[in-house]
Amino acid sequence: QKEVEQDPGPLSVPEGAIVSLNCTYSNSAFQYFMWYRQYSRKGPELLMYTYSSGNKEDGRFTAQVDKSSKYISLFIRDSQPSDSATYLCAMGSGGYQKVTFGTGTKLQVIP
């Protein structure tokens, strides 16, 4: 079993939809959680990071962590075609040094 599981998609949604992206993990030692966005031919770009269970909001993006279920989510409200990218979850322990990444979910927002 992989430490981090992420559905590769692709996920296609109409413009304006609410998008839910998810990852599950098996390592109880993970303490912090991140979401990266990766456009084609670009490197991963940090979107959000959080230490704790619960929700963290930044504009149209909400990161949700449920440590008891070992489940994290990224919600995108009012999705835009510019949100079309691959979204990578990442998590780690011990001060951000050792990070485990999901395989990424490819999202396409259709105008």
Partner 1 sequence: SAVISQKPSRDICQRGTSLTIQCQVDSQVTMMFWYRQQPGQSLTLIATANQGSEATYESGFVIDKFPISRPNLTFSTLTVSNMSPEDSSIYLCSVRDQGQPQHFGDGTRLSIL
Residues that bind partner 1 (CB under 8 A): 4, 8, 32, 34, 36, 41-46, 49, 88, 90, 95-104
Query: What's the min distance (Å) between Cβ of 78 and partner 1?
Result: 25
CA 103/CA 4 separation, integer angstroms: 8
Nearer to partner 1, 102 or 109 (CB): 102
The H helix count followed by the E strand count for the chain is 0, 11
Query: What's the min distance (Å) between Cβ of 80 and partner 1?
Result: 22
CA 37/CA 6 separation, integer angstroms: 14
CA 102/CA 81 separation, integer angstroms: 23
Nearer to partner 1, 5 or 62 (CB): 5
Nearer to partner 1, 90 or 109 (CB): 90
